[in-house]
Amino acid sequence: MYEFNYQRPKSLADAAKALKSAGDGGKLVAGGQTLIPTLKQRLAQPSDLIDLGGLKDLAGIKVEGGKVTIGALTTHAEVAHSAAVQKAIPALAALAEGIGDPQVRNRGTIGGSVANADPAADYPAGVVGLGATVHTNERTIAADQFFTGLFTTALKPGEIVTAVSFPVPQKAGYAKFPNPASRYCVVAVMAAKTADGVRVAVTGAGPSVFRVKEMEAALGKNWAPAAVDGIKVAPANLNQDIHASAEYRAHLVGVMARRAIEAAG
Ligand SMILES: Cc1cc2nc3c(=O)[nH]c(=O)nc-3n(C[C@H](O)[C@H](O)[C@H](O)COP(=O)(O)OP(=O)(O)OC[C@H]3O[C@@H](n4cnc5c(N)ncnc54)[C@H](O)[C@@H]3O)c2cc1C
Report residue 136: phi and psi, to 5°. Answer: -125, 180
Distance 110 CA to ligand 1 centre (A): 8
Alpha-carbon distance of 50 to 16, in angstroms, equals 9
CATH of the domain at 252: 3.30.390.50
Which of 27, 38, 116 to mutate for ligand 1's pocket (most ligand atoms within 8 Å of CB)?
116
**pLDDT confidence of 17, banded at 50, 70, 90?**
very high
User: pLDDT of 112-123, one tens digit each?
Assistant: 999 999 999 999
**Residue 105 forms part of a structural domain:** no
Neighbours of 25 (CB within 10 A): 12
pLDDT mean across residues, the chain: 97
Ligand 1 touching residue 153 (CB < 6 A): no
pLDDT at 265: 85
Distance 24 CA to ligand 1 centre (A): 20
The atom of ligand 1 lying closest to the CA of 58 is: 41
**Residue 83 forms part of a structural domain:** no
**Residue 252 forms part of a structural domain:** yes
Ligand 1 touching residue 112 (CB < 6 A): yes
Tell which residue, 98, 76, 79, has the closest CA to residue 87. Answer: 79
User: pLDDT of 45-103, one tens digit each?
Assistant: 999 999 999 999 999 999 999 999 999 999 999 999 999 999 999 999 999 999 999 99
Residues 172-200, mean pLDDT to the nearest whole number: 97
CATH of the domain at 45: 3.30.43.10
**Residue 233 forms part of a structural domain:** yes
**Residue 137 forms part of a structural domain:** no
Q: Which domain holds residue 196?
A: 171-264
Measured by CA distance, the residue closest to atom 47 of ligand 1 is 28
pLDDT above 90 coverage of the chain, percent:
98
Ligand 1 touching residue 31 (CB < 6 A): yes
**Residue 60 forms part of a structural domain:** no
How many domains does one find in the chain? 2
**Residue 61 forms part of a structural domain:** no
Q: Which pTM value belongs to this model? A: 0.97
pLDDT at 23: 87
pLDDT surpassing 90 at residue 246: yes
User: pLDDT of 131-171, one tens digit each?
Assistant: 999 999 999 999 999 999 999 999 999 999 999 999 999 99
**pLDDT confidence of 220, banded at 50, 70, 90?**
very high
Ligand 1 touching residue 124 (CB < 6 A): no
